[in-house]
Structure 1
């Protein structure tokens, strides 16, 4: 069997001849004789034959050289992107001295698996002390209740308005920030709040971030919303900052009464507390799918330009500040700075280029110019110099998108740390770009010229900003003064039936990456706004009959999967590249789709419902079609498939 041949240009001899003849009337209208005996037509056929030979040779170019040609034009494959997830470290017992989890601490799946995550920042776990307590009825009216809280025979009314009103708060001040901490408040109550449902309490726990109040993640509450003695355990988000409240500058944590939702009972009288203590049970810090390689010797220089050294591990993740190439010459280390290319590098510039996908580094080449001169771009390590990479990180890929509670094994024991886990799934991991994907992206990149002018330019540059971007849509502003609105759909490797609204939320890292990439390439005076699209929830109810002898359960699974895949923002639509922005959905389209599913005999009835993706319930009456705004996409909720 012969090797597959790329088909870069499928035009043949006759195609080229016909194309040239079609251009004759517009270019040389006086030329009217197009017969094969005409000398001009003979020249056309000659050049067509020569062009066909060039196309044939071009189609023999292997994928490796095709990618090399794209590299010369500044287009290189995207490296793998690492998944990220918060890791929670639990203490064996509260300790008086702080417990430090250093950056780079590695955690893996149980059993010593190959999926390794490492912490991005240093985590410091220390025990907090309640040094302030205030009740508030507005943003300016505060009452100091710390003495009553410390005195066992006294009580503190949490929400002090008469009657209790939304916005009332009970504020606790701490001497140290609680950012990233797992805090447990042990609460003793004197009186319950009257009128509230303990399972649906309209309260929220918040901390001050420096700009606004951030909600904490409550993972355990045995108090029934401050209605009985118990404990409230929460994960405090990053960025806990001090704030001046009631004349006291402390790190504040507050419980605030919310406006009750429809059908939700609220307090008619406030709960009262007799005592409250706080301890830190652990801490949470961001981690990414990566592991650190230390002290790798890449080899010795032979003194020639354009040397390339391969790393032991690949792909290589983007370098941090201390991750630099070191060349040792006669015992003296020299640091080489990473650059995107050698275009602006001189002969004395110690520069190096990383190929993240291939896992290699390259030193500057010597380039011969048309006038006969040769210029060295970037310094060349002298003969015998040792090339080392003291530290770098490797990892990334879709394999890092693991479920919650999977990362449970510390690779190195840490004093006072009992266990570790990820309370949430890891997301954001993307495999390295394939050659076929580069072939598609490369020509589009050349058309944009790395400048965002037209809507298609904005969309293509957004796709190039990060491998975590799956789709992009540019909404043209109504007036020249309005900002250009770019909608970003992130990647996800989850089953279309399991996709949720949170899977398409833009992480702060991805938002910043796209925004900076577009800001550097926009035209002068234009404004760019980056956000996620609006996702319209849809639920499909279908009643059908299965082919005789087919399993009803199997047919139901196939139909449910087909609907979810067809409406998916990532792989939906007729071309399997994602449901188009702003395209309406009609019941007749889904009926045609379902009737093609193996095992389906006939569709008896199909109805569409709008769906509340947050509350998980259908809205309104059934409809025959659902319309979409130009910047919206569908996201499937709970479908109901009845098979007879």
Structure 2
């Protein structure tokens, strides 16, 4: 429970006016006119109003003090963040081989006199020919042209078909002329950007008989190559794959081909001029993608790079030093990139030397002669030391600053607003810029500070690991087990300094697929926790073991409901309960709970199940079998008398296991109402 901020003085205007009037009656009895029209009362009301304003500011002191105390423990408001945009460049005649990082876009009018500029974040090696076609080739099928779907970037397409079977191919064609060499078109690196879409799947989820768990599917190898003569393909090396086998948005960087040749393309018409093209392909290896895991693209971009709404600013001069202690200078642009400020100070005269000052977090370790300064990135302010902790710039010295600035929510410009146009190349953003936000408001800072002070964003206890994986890692469930090493499960709890975190992702496809975390999600959570764990802690992050639950039910429907509707609602009710993230790990599933959940199925508050004849729950290979007694008063195990105990009335899962209800329960409903 938080403490309420005290009200130091609760008097308001009316209270002050009344108090002043009472004092007048005692000190000056001859003053008898207390109407507002009296000149004296006009002055009383004026000073009461001034005093009311002063008391309001005084009562704001706790909030001010709160902010200063948070600053002392290193909790500062988050500065404005810049938007990020994907820029897709198109080559023209005399296309350059490289677009250097830091290339700035023309100014974008944001309204109200505000403008935004974007600059590319890294060097881009250009493919000096346009992407002519995107096609798909499946084993035993005709090629499918996906070029239009890729250009519209709204409907999406399946680069390897809905199943993602082995030997499925995605092919890219780049226009060329006969005699062109690979080195003329492809420089050192080919850069692609993949934007993925969510795939919709049906309810046909089949499992091997007596499956005890649902192993997490592994992504198949993806083999890139370039076409040479006689349909021979040159293997290409994958330098970097941010998508993790097309599992998320990101860049793929591939080493350029050196032996590829332009291939003649089939003519559209007999009289058409023969065309040539370089061909690249990505082929699915292994046994293909697992059920429901084949990727679906929204857009594939060649010659793509991220651009950020930050530009290099120079304040020269920023100010002239007054020689006073603790000077505070205001940068021209308040949205400053942290740790980007470069400060130089130069004395008067032509032969004066330039001093280069160093940014520090605070002056706690600064000496009197240290050229140190601090930066408040949110407010764009520079602060100097007081002479005891950090040097004071000498009076009359000129101060200059360079820094990265820009950002805010207004930098989230719409699609096709960012336009580059240089000799030999042009570029636009095919999608809206995203990620820009304004500086953190004080109310949000106070909320964040409470959670930050509880854990200091450090993972020390098992609860800390779970909280960070859920809150920051955006996982659906997380379970940290101290003392467990994955290679030595028999020694669980007896290996000090070891923590294993089991994670499950957010629900997939509205619960139609198990919450398997992808390789990318496991890596992200591992890196996140690694940066917050204590020194000496050995950390492992693994996918939770998912235990399938399938029910076979015979029951009757309540009056007024159709068979199909009752089946759907019972299956939905069961899976919402079984698959809820609130169930956590290591839960105990009992036959009575499953039986009651079926009976509790309702539509608009009305029960849809009349009675249950039998229920069989298969939970990771273990069965709970129940039947209603003849008199309808008891629930009995199959094949036993009322006095016998059921061999299995509940199944307890292990600490690292979670249940998952299959979408295809076997439900037989009779007794549909007319």
TM-score by length of 2: 0.46
